[in-house]
Structure 1
Amino acid sequence: MSGAETAKLPAPKRRVLTGLAAALVSALLALVLGFRLEVLIEDAALVLLTPPVSPPDEIVLVAIDEDTLSHLPYRSPIDRAFLARMIRHIDAAAPRAIGVDILLDQPSEPDKDAALLSALGSAKSPIVMGYATGDDGLTAKQAKFLDQALKGLDKGLVTLSRDDFDGTVRTLYPGREVAGSFMPGLAAALAKIGGKTAPAGGRIRFYHDAAGHPLSFKTYPAHSAALLPADWFRDRYVLIGSALPTSDRHPTPFVTTLGAELGTPDGMAIHAHMLTQMLRGERILAPPPWAAAAIVLGMALIAALILSLPLAPLTGAAVLAGLIGAYLAGAYFLFSGRLVMLPAAMPVLAALLTAVLLAMGRWYRDRAERLFIEKAFSQYVSPAVVQRISRREHELSLGGEARIVTYVFTDLEGFTSLSESLAPDRIAALLNDYLDAVCGLYVEAEATIDKIVGDAVIGFFGAPEQQDDQACRAVELALAIDRFSEAHRRDLAAQGTRFGVTRIGVHKGKAIIGNFGGSRFFDYTGIGDTVNVAARLEAANRHLGTRICVSGSVAGDCPELKFRPVGDIVLKGKQVPIPAFEPLQMGALPPELEDGYASAYALMAGGDAGAGARFAELAEAFPDDALTGLHNGRLQGGETGPIITLKGK
């Protein structure tokens, strides 16, 4: 669906589609960008949020360290006779099992090799020998020697699962297929001896003490093992391996939390952590990838739903923060209570990205709407009004709404005949000068210019902004236009150009205001009877002899302005008369005429027979007053009362 097609959708559907799109994009971005952060947070959770434990009594380590090597004739390979003596001593103590985290992948002195193999073959305790293959970095020669040396012995892979990204050991290593059969990892093989089944994978539960440091297992130096009491090994799992400072060291989750100094134990210690976890039957439970992705998408969708609700920005942000907080609290309790590790970073990131995308979309949409409003309304209203409505575009309804408005119609009398007597360029200049001035008055009064039709200017008050004083604004605009047009007409007459009278009609009432230009054009206008009445009041001036004619609904709202009643006019196509008034310019009428007209009209409106004589006197005294002449003629012709029925438009 194109952007244009989306824009044409109803607002609710558009919000739904926008929210779905933002949620999907955010979920994908969170899964990609947040994965590594998720791993680091899981590291921290394992180190900081799990309870401390005491060193398990059932596991002891026999470490070949620098002190041990200083007692041996050479550093590598480990003296096999020394290993043989140590294994015989430990085996005699009846341990639960012995795990040897040393690869016998190269020959040493033949008699010492034979002594070690003899000790291994005659041992009464279960012994699991460390094993590796070419997949673990052994050469073909090393792999062949190792296979021959360990033939007939129980073996366990010493492989550690290292993260391809940063080399950190994070997950259990259950084992793999070797030569057509499954070979367990070293820790898994030892756990099996104890009747425990190793998990198929998952996170290693790296144990720590009360200080938060990696758990220190009971460790004895290998060169003193033969001197230790048998009780120290009896019924225990004994791991034998190197504990050298510069080899077989691996980064663990402690690195990201405590630093490399404490977070890079030797391989034997990592096997001890895995063995402890297997013996305790603990498993770090985590949702499969598809379920984790569903959680991330779900958080993004919920965030989109929250932000699509009609909430204030701060309220929406607070609700979203509450959602994130509730999710993280639930994830914490599941992990601390049941070792269930839900994703934390990716769902939160998805929710925040959704909020950012929707906010950006809302900003872009609001900006586009604001620019559209400013561009569209710049031809209708003053720049000040444009700025005000652009700041409140959410209050603006362009689809059509019923509003109380006051329409102002103007028309230039006799311009058609004038245009036939002048050159086109002269006509264009005259009309443009006139329209510039009249439209300028509309703009100054903060009216909305509806349209210009030939020499007629149509505008209204009360939309798009609410204007409580709209009727008075309209009357004052009409008076301003009348003052300009009369002065302009006199100036042109002095230049020899006969310019017509500007007639103005004003009416206030309900109209449907909105964009009625179809999908291609913007035409902010009004429709309804109010518009028609204003137009017919403008036309009524021709029959009444007035220049401005306003309805009673307008005059009644402007008690501070001066009017004189015209009559109750029955417009063409109407059955019910409406009261009409002529607004008066300051000092336009002599007091005698103003007061005399008011008293004569009151007599006529009251059905007094003396009204005819009073209007006759006024007509004789003020022969140029059109309204006085109108009523005098009506009454002398036999009409009574103020009702005037117009035959024309």
Structure 2
Amino acid sequence: MDSDRLSLLSRWPGVVAIALAATLVAVIAGHRLEPVAGDILLTKLLPAKLARDDIVIVAIDEETLEGLTYRSPIDRGLLADIVAHVDKAGARAIGLDILIDQASEPEKDALLLTTLEQAHTPLIAGRAGTREGLTQAQERFAEEFLAPLKTASVALARDEIDGTIRRLPQSGESGETFSRTLAISGGEMPENLSDRIVYFTGNDGRPHAFPTYPAHAAALLPPDWFAGKYVLIGTKLATSDRHKTPFSAALGAEAGLLNGIEIHAHMLAQYLEGRHIAILPRLAETLIAAAMALLGAALVALRASPALRVAGVAGLVALYFGACFAALQWGETLLPLVMPPLAAVIAGAAMGGVHWFQDRAERKFVEQAFSRYVSPALVKRLVSDRKALSLGGEKREVTFVFTDLEGFTSVSEKLAPAEVADLLNGYLDKVCERFIAHGATIDKIVGDSVVGFFGAPEPQDDQACRAVDLVLELDRLCEKLKEEASAKGVALGLTRIGVHKGEAIVGNFGGSRFFDYTGIGDTVNTASRLEAANKHLGTRVLVSRAVADACPEHAFRPAATLVLKGKSEGVDCFVPLMSSQANSEAITAYREAYRAMSENSGEAETLLAKALEICPGDPLARYHLARLRRGKQGTTIELADE
């Protein structure tokens, strides 16, 4: 088994954990949206068309009530006339969705009861109870009045969350349901379905409009309009018995309201046509969401580009929606539309976040690891720009810094290998830390020497000042390390430093497999030779005039004009000073002596002697005084002659 496969397997516990968490979030966030999504799918994307025309409604509307002596209870004489006319017309079945829950005029009550009992057409009277808001007295009256008749519950299954009528009411304590009983009475034997109501739509996308006749004119209508049909008698008022349906999600709250009698007509049509939309149990929906979450997380966990991972999750969601469409169209099953895709997206996003953090951690690890071998500035450049790996160079203004530890070879011969390694590693670690802290690019470490530069790979306008700050700190550090080593009985030498600023060709130089990011040119050589010149002058740090002129805020004292090996022109060299030294008596005396020396004045020797009296340990004053006493003049020194 290869490493990639092992790596993939090692991620599966995390994939499963993320999938479970995503499933939980999706179920909590999506369960309220799930029914609404189903509403839109059923009413807008896959609307059901009604093929039959044998269901009609006789509606008691506002115009009907305006013609009556009283609004409530509804005139029992009117109801008797309607039932008698529909019965005589030869209807297939009659459904009375009018609650008879209180007494009215005795004669009309008796007439209605007689008409209902003597009807030849199968007749179902709607029944309700205290659960539907009736008082106990109303419930008792209805039971007694309707006792001779066949009744069924007209209660609707209202969604507990948003009050929408989505599900078929189930037979239970309230007995058989109104629409199913009406279908049975008409000679059909529908299943007792436990699923969604199929709301039928018209060509305009709105709820199917069943033929509806006003109750006050029903007795005058031709018998053929009712013959062989299911006739539902109920109210159709704007102020009562109106319910929110799935059409509200697609058409708006008001457009989605239907009267109870219209909802019963839709349910009756559903039973008669045998249409049903099965709804999965909550557990099954949760398992589907979990499977989608697992797939979403797994797709992102695979080793692929971010674009392919996103495309994979998007494709998974698209396939799932296609499966939902197919399940509804050919399997009459409504799959959950929100929770599974949401779980897949959440899991994929979470896994992507984990990838991002892991990649970031790995990238940081690689940067830190490579920074032990290559300058951090180069690692950063390699990470941000792939072209940084190509061979080639460019001319840049750079400032090179060379350091060298004096006499370390002799010291190492007196120590055990482990002690040599500890001593050198400790020294180089601290020196390199200072290079990096000041923004330098470390070019190379050769033995006990460190070479670095400023101004590349990224431009640095203050490169010379950075270099001066670096060498001042390095000088203090190395002197401290020397003292600490001496206290342990190790004669660690002083560290010499050379700095020069100028143009150099900087880039990747080497072969196709191995190369260095370095600089080449006279600037590099000059910095190296300035470091070596410290040995002749007795100094620890030398910088060129190009560096000193670029740092007017720093203090320097002139060291000499050095004609380096292989050069015909001299390089003005300076020693950088700490701010506390800049105007000291010793430095002032040295500057006066150097001025006299540069003018070939006879006072130079006397002034140098005076400077040494003030600071007996000044190496430059001692060096120049010795030169003058050997008959040398001026400040220009050809190192080849020294």
User: Is it true that 1:169 corresponds to 2:162 in the alignment?
Assistant: no
User: Is it true that 1:436 corresponds to 2:428 in the alignment?
Assistant: no
Q: 1:440 to 1:57 in 2, by over 3 A?
A: closer
Measure, in 2, the Cα distance between the counterparts of 1:81 and 1:488. 126
Q: 1:355 to 1:391 in 2, by over 3 A?
A: farther
Aligned pair partner of 2:230 in 213, 234, 237: 237
Q: 1:271 to 1:436 in 2, by over 3 A?
A: same
User: Is it true that 1:101 corresponds to 2:127 in the alignment?
Assistant: no
Question: CA offsets, 1:18-48, max 9 Å, x none?
Answer: 2222222112211221222221121111112
- How far 1:358 moved relative to its partner? 1.4
User: Is it true that 1:186 corresponds to 2:178 in the alignment?
Assistant: yes
Q: 1:439 to 1:469 in 2, by over 3 A?
A: farther
Alignment of structure 1 residues 489-638 onto 2, 5 Å:
489-490=535-536
Aligned pair partner of 2:80 in 63, 73, 84: 84
Contact 2:299 2:348 in 1 (8 A): no
Contact 1:380 1:450 in 2 (8 A): no
Measure, in 1, the Cα distance between the counterparts of 2:237 and 2:447. 89
Match of residue 316 from structure 1: 309
Q: 1:289 to 1:432 in 2, by over 3 A?
A: closer
Contact 1:381 1:448 in 2 (8 A): no
Alignment of structure 1 residues 307-456 onto 2, 5 Å:
307-374=300-367, 381-388=374-381, 390-391=383-384, 412-415=408-411, 436=431, 440=435, 444-447=441-444
Measure, in 2, the Cα distance between the counterparts of 1:337 and 1:448. 74
Match for 1:192: what amino acid?
Answer: I
- How far 1:434 moved relative to its partner? 11
Tell me how large the CA RMSD over aligned residues is.
Answer: 4.2
Match for 1:103: what amino acid?
Answer: L
- How far 1:148 moved relative to its partner? 1.0
Provide the secondary structure at the position in 2 that maps to 1:214. Answer: coil
- How far 1:482 moved relative to its partner? 7.6
User: Is it true that 1:23 corresponds to 2:15 in the alignment?
Assistant: no
Match for 1:30: what amino acid?
Answer: A
Match for 1:185: what amino acid?
Answer: T
Match of residue 142 from structure 1: 138
Measure, in 1, the Cα distance between the counterparts of 2:445 and 2:359. 23
Alignment of structure 1 residues 274-293 onto 2, 5 Å:
274-293=267-286
Measure, in 2, the Cα distance between the counterparts of 1:382 and 1:288. 62
- How far 1:58 moved relative to its partner? 1.4
Q: Mean alpha-carbon deviation: is it higher for 184-193 or for 435-444?
A: 435-444
Q: 1:256 to 1:378 in 2, by over 3 A?
A: same
Contact 1:55 1:218 in 2 (8 A): no
TM-score norm. by structure 2 comes to: 0.63
User: Is it true that 1:156 corresponds to 2:148 in the alignment?
Assistant: no
Measure, in 1, the Cα distance between the counterparts of 2:292 and 2:345. 10
Measure, in 2, the Cα distance between the counterparts of 1:363 and 1:92. 78
Provide the secondary structure at the position in 1 that maps to 2:139. Answer: helix
User: Is it true that 1:267 corresponds to 2:269 in the alignment?
Assistant: no
Aligned pair partner of 1:248 in 241, 245, 250: 241
Q: 1:152 to 1:372 in 2, by over 3 A?
A: same
TM-score norm. by structure 1 comes to: 0.63
Contact 2:100 2:142 in 1 (8 A): yes
Provide the secondary structure at the position in 1 that maps to 2:243. Answer: coil
Measure, in 1, the Cα distance between the counterparts of 2:428 and 2:166. 83
- How far 1:478 moved relative to its partner? 12
Measure, in 2, the Cα distance between the counterparts of 1:100 and 1:202. 24
Measure, in 2, the Cα distance between the counterparts of 1:299 and 1:587. 75
Measure, in 2, the Cα distance between the counterparts of 1:346 and 1:286. 14
Contact 1:199 1:283 in 2 (8 A): no
Provide the secondary structure at the position in 2 that maps to 1:112. Answer: helix
Provide the secondary structure at the position in 2 that maps to 1:227. Answer: coil
Q: 1:385 to 1:80 in 2, by over 3 A?
A: same
Measure, in 2, the Cα distance between the counterparts of 1:175 and 1:112. 32
Match of residue 120 from structure 2: 124
Measure, in 2, the Cα distance between the counterparts of 1:70 and 1:123. 28
Measure, in 1, the Cα distance between the counterparts of 2:275 and 2:445. 75
Q: 1:488 to 1:253 in 2, by over 3 A?
A: same
Provide the secondary structure at the position in 2 that maps to 1:129. Answer: strand
Measure, in 2, the Cα distance between the counterparts of 1:153 and 1:319. 62
Q: Which runs of 5+ in 1 are unaligned?
A: 1-8, 396-408, 420-427, 458-462, 496-584, 589-649
Contact 2:428 2:448 in 1 (8 A): no
Match for 2:190: what amino acid?
Answer: T
Aligned pair partner of 1:302 in 270, 273, 295: 295
Question: CA offsets, 1:179-200, max 9 Å, x none?
Answer: xxxx111101112223222433
Contact 1:172 1:274 in 2 (8 A): yes
Provide the secondary structure at the position in 2 that maps to 1:170. Answer: strand
Contact 1:373 1:390 in 2 (8 A): no
Measure, in 1, the Cα distance between the counterparts of 2:447 and 2:55. 91
Percent of residue pairs identical: 37
Contact 2:376 2:441 in 1 (8 A): no
Q: Mean alpha-carbon deviation: is it higher for 434-443 or for 311-320?
A: 434-443
Question: CA offsets, 1:458-502, max 9 Å, x none?
Answer: xxxxx9x9985547969999999985774455555x79xxxxxxx
Provide the secondary structure at the position in 1 that maps to 2:342. Answer: helix
Measure, in 1, the Cα distance between the counterparts of 2:332 and 2:110. 47
Match of residue 391 from structure 2: none
- How far 1:122 moved relative to its partner? 1.6
- How far 1:174 moved relative to its partner? 2.7
- How far 1:101 moved relative to its partner? 0.6
Q: 1:586 to 1:42 in 2, by over 3 A?
A: farther
Provide the secondary structure at the position in 1 that maps to 2:278. Answer: coil
Match for 2:356: what amino acid?
Answer: W
- How far 1:13 moved relative to its partner? 4.0
Provide the secondary structure at the position in 2 that maps to 1:320. Answer: helix
